[in-house]
């Protein structure tokens, strides 16, 4: 029998410390992955939404391409993959500055895409978007 400093047979101190932080973003969980990111190559340069569809302080989920577009402040648009980095479910459109994954509850900043709450361990993939007329174009 081995005792690795945790007081539990066969379990080392690092394993115990790692388990304690599992609810925080940035801590990888065994078996996570399966991120089904959208293939955006075919839509770059095309209008993917109208500016009128993306309210200030909110956003829109473009389910067809699994992309979320947000407008955290007037005139500033951000685009992210809606594919949750945990297991690939589509996150919600933003509410109260956050996108939430309905599968396991991860939350992401509507301004930066950063993971605010796990079990996801990475941010949403960000894309560049520009305004042309009343359209939003992925660049």
Binding site for ligand FES (CB under 6 A): 84, 86-87, 89, 101, 103-106, 119-120
Whether the CB-CB separation of 89 and 59 falls below 8 Å is answered with no
- CB nearer ligand FES, residue 115 or residue 137: 115
DSSP, collapsed to helix, strand or coil, labels residue 126 as: strand
DSSP codes, 67-83: EEEEEEETTEEEEEE-B
| Cβ pair 138, 43 in contact under 8 A | yes
Strand partners, 62: 67
**Shortest CB 60 distance to ligand FES, Å:** 19
Q: Least distance in Å: CB of 113 to ligand FES? A: 13
Residue 25 vs 137, nearer CB to ligand FES: 25
- 61 contacts 93 by C-beta, under 8 angstroms: yes
Between 28 and 47, CB nearer to ligand FES: 28
Smallest gap from Cβ 26 to ligand FES, in A, equals 14
Q: Minimum distance between the CB of residue 75 and ligand FES, rounded to whole angstroms? A: 30
């Amino acid at each position: 029998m081995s005792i690795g400093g945790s007081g539990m047979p066969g379990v080392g101190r690092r394993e115990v410390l790692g388990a304690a932080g599992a609810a925080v973003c940035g801590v990888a969980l065994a078996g996570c992955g399966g991120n089904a990111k959208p293939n955006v190559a075919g839509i770059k340069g095309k209008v993917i939404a109208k500016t009128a569809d993306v309210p200030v302080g909110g956003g829109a989920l473009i389910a067809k391409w699994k992309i979320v577009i947000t407008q955290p402040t007037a005139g500033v648009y951000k685009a992210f993959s809606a594919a949750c980095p945990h297991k690939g479910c589509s996150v919600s459109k933003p509410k109260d500055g956050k996108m939430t994954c309905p599968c396991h509850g991860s939350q992401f900043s509507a301004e930066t895409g950063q993971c605010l709450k796990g079990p996801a361990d990475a941010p949403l993939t960000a894309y560049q978007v520009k305004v042309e007329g009343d359209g939003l174009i992925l660049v």
